[in-house]
Structure 1
Amino acid sequence: MKIQKGAFVTDKRPVFLNLRKIKLPLPGLVSFLHRVSGVILFFAIPLCLFVLQQSLVSPSGFAAADEFLSNPLIVFMVFVLLLALSHHLLAGIRFLLMDLETGLTKAISIQSSRAVLIGAVVLALLLTIGLYQ
């Protein structure tokens, strides 16, 4: 019920802002992860450019970059970056299709969200295996 007071309208409905108890639907989770993956990719750009620059300076720089990238912790970080990249790519394609008014029903939206999540993991695994073979 809305109550009008002067020029302002106040809403008497309760507001629930406990983020640990809010359960997002799957399409909402994909949207949230799309934003998170974009932030991860943005902050990873300087590190990726630094490693690229080091590898192009000299043969010893290339060897140092190769040694750095073969560290198991860095391999995991590369996997996470590739996961963020693949999720951002697939979710972006999904959102572009939604802008074209394709897949707007609830059932198709949930199916495409599942496809994005599964496809991102599979694509990241394939890319990581391909890079480190």
Structure 2
Amino acid sequence: MAELEASTTTGARRARPISPHLQIYRPMLSMMMSIVHRITGAALYFGMALVAWWLLAAASGPNAYATFEWAVGNIVGQIVLFGFTWALLHHMLGGIRHLIWDLIYGFEPAEREMLVLASLIGSIALTIIVWVIGYLAMGGPR
């Protein structure tokens, strides 16, 4: 206590401990995907505003729906919808991966990395498949 008081009165500061993860742990795919899983969860939170807007516009009449269609029909809206679709599918597959881990499977390093890679590749592939099917269902090129 006397040492702490002496250091604060002289203006010298004691070195605070630094979190070891910055110096010790090297980034692994599973670590990065854990961070991405959290980010996609936050993106889905805000993306639900789009779903609410779509439902409200559909219930409000043709003018409100035309405004919604204009907003999501331009290139920026399409990119946002594509990102929302990917976030939804990636978050879902990440949840399935965590369910597998909760069942105490897939903890070996090779299995863990394979599950993470499968959820990443699967989310990209499923997003493209959903958009191609949606594009074809809407009549293809106009």
TM-score (norm 2): 0.74
Quick one: distance in 2 between partners of 1:23 and 1:76? Answer: 32
Quick one: distance in 1 between partners of 2:20 and 2:96? Answer: 32
Q: The residue matched to 1:101 in structure 2 has which SS?
A: coil
Larger Rg over CA atoms: 2
Identity among equivalent pairs (%) = 27
Greater helix percent: which structure? 2
Q: The residue matched to 1:35 in structure 2 has which SS?
A: helix
What is the aligned-residue RMSD (CA, Å)? 2.4
Report the AA paired with residue 57 of structure 1: S
Quick one: distance in 2 between partners of 1:18 and 1:102? Answer: 28
Asked if the contact 2:58/2:65 (under 8 Å) is kept, the reply is yes
Quick one: distance in 1 between partners of 2:97 and 2:20? Answer: 30
Residue 128 of structure 1 corresponds to 131
Report the AA paired with residue 60 of structure 2: V
Quick one: distance in 1 between partners of 2:117 and 2:78? Answer: 26
Structure 2 residue runs of 5 or longer lacking an equivalent are 1-16, 137-142
How far has the Cα of 1:74 moved from its partner?
0.6
Q: 1:69 to 1:130 in 2, by over 3 A?
A: farther
Report the AA paired with residue 91 of structure 1: G
Q: Does 1:94 find its partner at 2:91?
A: no
Residue 26 of structure 1 corresponds to 29
Q: 1:132 to 1:63 in 2, by over 3 A?
A: farther
Large movers: runs of 4+ above 4 Å: 13-19
Greater strand percent: which structure? 1
Instruction: Write out aligned runs for 1:1-133 (5 A).
Output: 15=19, 23-133=26-136
Aligned residues: 120
How far has the Cα of 1:102 moved from its partner?
1.1
Structure 1 residue runs of 5 or longer lacking an equivalent are 1-12
